[in-house]
Amino acid sequence: MSLESTPDRSRNISWSYILLGFSIIVIIIFTLAPILWQVLTSIKTNDDISAIPNVYLPQRITLEHYLQLFKRRPFWLYIFNSALVSIISSALCLILGSPAAYALARMKLRGETIILVLISVVTLFPYALLFLGVLEIIKNIGLGNNYLALIIPYTAINMPLTILVMRSFFRQLPQDLEDAAKIDGYKTIPMLINIILPMTLPALVTTGILTFIFAWNEYIFALTFITEETMKTIPVATAQLGGSGLFDIPYGSIAAATILGTIPLVILVLIFQRRIVQGLTAGAVKG
């Protein structure tokens, strides 16, 4: 019986591997196809872009669309603006959110459950619905056309996520480690900075990258609160790219701007991919 069942079992295993491999290939193609199309569009000539039927593989490769971005618009300045706003808001989220998360994880606070429920509700609340309220605040305090008009909302929107993620990591750390640090004379803040936070570095990196990506890609607030050309971010500048005529849509330039706006995020993820994986897997395991 065992000799007869072995070929059937191996046949089932081989078919499962084939189906698994086919599924992976389909998912990869489905995921990367839009990105590949944008890359190809960014290096096509205008004739190939507007050709009917579609030209999928460019017959001639050109970098003119990328060059036009920097000739016609201050695109380096847009990159700087996006980077500045994203870095500062992400840093503020980690600086302010980590102590708050530690307090919720270790200290017996009155009304802790209510606080966590409110934080969770804010996290699930669509940030676009906060637009009108934030707009009134920005108008009343005169922060229009100021980097703070983006930094403050981005920090506030990402703060609940930062607190929830960091709290889950702090709760996984052994309490004995903190007790030993207190016996050695560490106060709470020095212990948090010198001992606890270095141990949660994967969580810090993961949370920081998530908040950075949100701030980098955000469009509605950046479109409304910033109107000066020299202070616009990449999503707004890309959406406002115009052609030579009224009805001319510069598909090549838009694709090139999209690729340039995505490259920093890809580089960031590739650099910290090991930390990101550690952070995601550590968050799924109880200590």
Residue pLDDT, tens place only, 122-181: 888 787 788 888 888 888 888 889 999 999 999 999 999 899 888 888 888 888 888 888
Range of the domain at 229: 69-282
| CATH number of the domain enclosing 276 | 1.10.3720.10
Residue 97: pLDDT band (50, 70, 90) is very high
In a domain, 229, yes or no: yes
- For 227-276, what is each residue's pLDDT tens digit? 898 899 999 998 888 655 555 678 888 899 999 999 988 888 888 877 77
Are 25 and 76 in the same domain? no
In a domain, 55, yes or no: no
Are 17 and 146 in the same domain? no
Average pLDDT across the chain, whole number: 83
In a domain, 236, yes or no: yes
Are 132 and 170 in the same domain? yes
In a domain, 240, yes or no: yes
Given its phi and psi angles, is residue 109 left (phi above 0), alpha (psi -120 to 50 degrees) or beta?
Answer: beta
At 286 the pLDDT is 45
Are 176 and 257 in the same domain? yes
- For 37-48, what is each residue's pLDDT tens digit? 888 888 888 888
- pLDDT of residue 279 exceeding 80: no
- pLDDT of residue 60 exceeding 60: yes
Are 141 and 20 in the same domain? no
- For 210-239, what is each residue's pLDDT tens digit? 899 999 999 999 999 998 988 999 999 988
Are 137 and 24 in the same domain? no
In a domain, 56, yes or no: no
State how far the Cα of 154 lies from the Cα of 159, in Å rounded to an integer: 8
Residue 12: pLDDT band (50, 70, 90) is low
Are 92 and 31 in the same domain? no
At 278 the pLDDT is 66
Highest mean pLDDT among 10-19, 54-63, 276-285: 54-63
Number of domains present in the structure of the chain: 2
- pLDDT of residue 36 exceeding 50: yes
Are 131 and 268 in the same domain? yes
At 6 the pLDDT is 53
At 247 the pLDDT is 55
In a domain, 250, yes or no: yes
Residue 65: pLDDT band (50, 70, 90) is confident
In a domain, 161, yes or no: yes
